Structure 1
Amino acid sequence: MSNSKEVQAAYIKPSREEIARSVATSTAVETGQSSRQIEASLEAKRKKFSYLRLAV
């Protein structure tokens, strides 16, 4: 007999801001640029092309 219990972790979907911040910091580490500058650039492009959607 096994006394181990299966634990199910709840999945919390990351927000758009959290995704943008993680992409910006990762890119900043790789390129040596400021993460705030990259994050601002991503936000500007998102607003500029907000009418486009990904094909599913």
Structure 2
Amino acid sequence: MKASPTRTGRQPVSREAIIKAVATSTAVETGESSKAIEARLRSGKSRFKSLQLALFPPH
């Protein structure tokens, strides 16, 4: 599913793109495999279930 552009003309960032960016950044910092980190992020298991990703409200 392709997202429609926002008022600024940019498309919103997908959840998959965020997961990949976080996983690769964390892999560089920790030396862990980015694929393992991606799998952990997608599994939904979290130590902080009550926290959510902060997103800007839609305009």
Q: TM-score, normalised by structure 1?
A: 0.63
More helix by share: 1
Runs of 4+ residues deviating >6 angstroms: none
Q: Which residue of 2 aligns with 1:27?
A: 26
Q: TM-score, normalised by structure 2?
A: 0.61
Q: Which residue of 2 aligns with 1:11?
A: 10
1:53 is displaced (CA, Å) by 7.1
Q: Which residue of 1 aligns with 2:35?
A: 36
Higher Rg of the two aligned structures: 1
Q: Which runs of 5+ in 1 are unaligned?
A: 1-8
RMSD over aligned Cα atoms: 2.3
What per-residue deviation string (whole Å, max 9, x for no partner) do you get for residues 20-48 of structure 1? 0000000000000000000000111x2x4
Q: Which runs of 5+ in 2 are unaligned?
A: 1-7, 55-59
What is the number of equivalent residue pairs in this alignment?
44
